[in-house]
A and B are shown apart, each in its own frame.
Chain A
């Protein structure tokens, strides 16, 4: 049973560019959350998607946007990249929006902005 899968695993962009990160949730999970983990820090909540809608959002600017597809997979888009956007981006899935005790994280996509 595959867990949460994310792609790409690593990528390098330059300032001002745009990036799209992808996530497939664990089988049986319909809710996807995205977190940003800067080097040496704990993950910070970006937003959560359920039923193809953004349900909750953390303190991130509008440059960060997302999407959820009918098959529950999700994308994270970041526009106008800044050096400070360099981080590990984690996708987490759960069987429902309140299932914190069964939140499963992927291995992440490491973004480097030059």
Chain B
């Protein structure tokens, strides 16, 4: 019940295309859903996050879509660039659970020029 399932495992997109990564969860006690970006040799860095009372959040080329009834959320990267090539993780936090995050298994994104 505390799992966050992420798909796909890997994704290849052409430059300028849209990258879409999906996550699903079961625990309705989750109250915070961040996405992290990780480059090789680096730690995860917060990209964008959403709370369940909002259905969409956009920051630049990055958009989170949140479907509370389906218990799913997704990351859309518009106009994907080679510099976006990285591993992306969705995560979730339990309400009142301090800042313990439950991470998905990750999606390795490659944007080809």
Interface residues of A (CB under 8 A from B): 4, 31, 33, 40-45, 48, 55-56, 58, 90, 92, 94, 97-101, 103-108
Q: How far is the CB of A16 from chain B (nearest CB, A)?
A: 28
One of B52-60, B69-77, B94-102 at the interface: B94-102
Measured CB to CB, the residues of B under 8 A from A are 6, 32, 34, 36, 41-46, 49, 89, 91, 93, 97-106
Given contacts A4-B43, A103-B46, A107-B42, is CB(A42)–CB(B98) below 8 Å?
Answer: no
Interface-centre pick from B32, B45, B101 (highest chain A CB count, 10 A): B101
Would you call A31 and B99 a contact (CB within 8 A)? yes
Flag if B99 contacts A41 (CB, 8 Å): no
Which of B6, B42, B93, B103 is A100 in contact with, Cβ under 8 Å? B93
Interfacial chain A residues near B49, Cβ < 8 Å: 101
Contacts of A43 in B (CB 8 A): 44, 89, 101, 103
Question: Contacts A90-B43, A107-B43 hold; do A44 and B103 have CB atoms under 8 A apart?
Answer: yes
Q: CB-CB < 8 A to A107: which residues of B?
A: 41-43
What residues of A have a CB within 8 angstroms of the CB of B6 in the complex? Answer: 42
Q: Contact at B98–A55, with CB atoms within 8 Å?
A: yes
User: Which of chain A's residues have a CB closer than 8 A to the CB of B44?
Assistant: 43, 90, 105
Verify B43–A45 contact, CB threshold 8 A: no
- CB pair B105–A45 under 8 Å, yes or no, is no
The answer to whether B43 touches A42 (Cβ under 8 A) is no
Is A101's CB under 8 angstroms from B32's CB? yes
Task: Report how far A37 CA is from B104 CA in the complex, Å.
Answer: 11
Asked whether, in the complex, the Cβ of B99 is within 8 Å of the Cβ of A42, the reply is no
Kindly identify which residue among B34, B99, B102 contacts A48, using a CB–CB cutoff of 8 Å: B99
- On chain A, the residues within 8 Å of B105 by CB distance are 40-42
**In the complex, which of the residues A44, A90, A103, A106 has the most CB atoms of chain B within 10 Å of its own CB atom?**
A103
A103 touching B98, Cβ below 8 Å:
no
- By a CB distance below 8 angstroms, the chain A residues around B97 are 56
Closest Cβ–Cβ distance, residue B48 to chain A (whole Å): 11
